[in-house]
Amino acid sequence: MTDRVKQANDLLIEQYKKSVNLLGLIGAITGQLQAVDDQVPKLLNERGLDTAQGANLDVIGKIVVLDRPFTDPDPEDIFTFENPGDIGKGYTDIDGTQVGGYWIGLDPIDNQKYNDVLYRFILRAKIIYNTTRATLFDMINYVQFVFGVESVIIERVGAIDINIARPIGRQERQIIEKTFPRAAGIRIGYLSYSNGPGAFGFTGNDSNGGFGDLDHPEVGGEFSSLIID
C-alpha cells in the first residue's frame, strides 16, 4: 500500500524538504488520506458477499431485496428429549461434539433466523434470480455461483434434471426450488447430488463419467443420490 506521507514529501522540491512547518502541514493532510487508504481493504472485506458477516451481510440483503429469513430447521438435526421415529437428536458427547442435535429454543419461529452461511447461500441464489434470462448458461451458472461446484443439467421435454457435485440439505433444496432460473412452463425434474464432479451420466461430457470396468472399478462415474421428499 502506498505511503501517502512519504509520497507527498518525495514530491517536494529540494529547497522545501527541510521545512519543518511545511512537512508538518503535508503530514497532517496526507495522514488523513492514509487513514482512509488503510480502511479501504477492511471495508471491501466486510462488504464482500464472500466475507461479510452479521449486519454487513444484512446490508447486502437490502440491496438485493431479500431480508434475512427465519429458518425452517430440519427436524432430524435439532435437539429433542424424545425422538419418536428417529426424528431429532439428543445430547452431544465430550469425545464427539459433532453428535447430538442443536438447540433452537422454546419458540424457534420467533428467534431463529438464517445463519451467515445459509443466508450467504440464499443471497447468491437471489442475485442470479434477479438477473437471469433462464438460458442454459444461466442454469449452469446458477449452480456454480451458488454452490461453488460443478453441475450436470439435462434438458427434457417440459423439465430439467439437475445433479449437484456435493451433498445438499433440505433448506438448500427448498431454495433451489424457489430460485432456480427456468423458463415459464419448465419444471425441475430429478434433483440429485453426488460427492464430486465425477457423477455418473450418459452424456459423456467432462462433468460426469460413464460405466465402470470390471477389472478397473475406479473407472466410471460416481452414482448420485436422488432426492425424494
Please provide the average confidence, as pLDDT, over all residues in the chain.
Answer: 75
Reference 116, options 71, 159, 155, 162; nearest CA is: 71
d(CA 153, CA 186): 13
Residue 186's alpha-carbon distances to 40, 155, 183, in angstroms, are: 44, 10, 6
Query: In this structure, what DSSP letter does residue 86 have?
Result: G
What is the maximum span of the chain, computed from C-alpha positions, in angstroms? 87
pTM of the predicted structure, to 2 decimals: 0.52
DSSP states along 155-191: EETTEEEEEESS---HHHHHHHHHH----TT-EEEEE
Give 35-55 pLDDT, tens digit per residue: 888 888 777 777 788 888 888
Q: How confident is the model at residue 85 (pLDDT cuts 50, 70, 90)?
A: low
How confident is the model at residue 143, as a pLDDT? 81
Q: Measured on CA atoms in the order 126, 127, 132, 137, is the torsion positive or negative?
A: negative
Judged by phi (left if over 0) then psi (alpha if -120 to 50, else beta), residue 115 lies in beta
Q: Which of 78-92, 120-134, 156-170 has the highest mean pLDDT?
A: 120-134
Give 89-119 pLDDT, tens digit per residue: 666 766 666 667 666 655 544 456 778 888 8
SS3 breakdown of the chain: % helix, strand, coil, rounded to 5?
40, 15, 45
> Hey, what's the cell of 44?
471491501
Of the candidate ranges 58-62, 131-135, 164-168, 193-197, the one whose mean pLDDT is the lowest: 193-197
Give 132-175 pLDDT, tens digit per residue: 887 878 888 888 888 777 777 877 788 888 888 777 777 777 78
How confident is the model at residue 196, as a pLDDT? 55
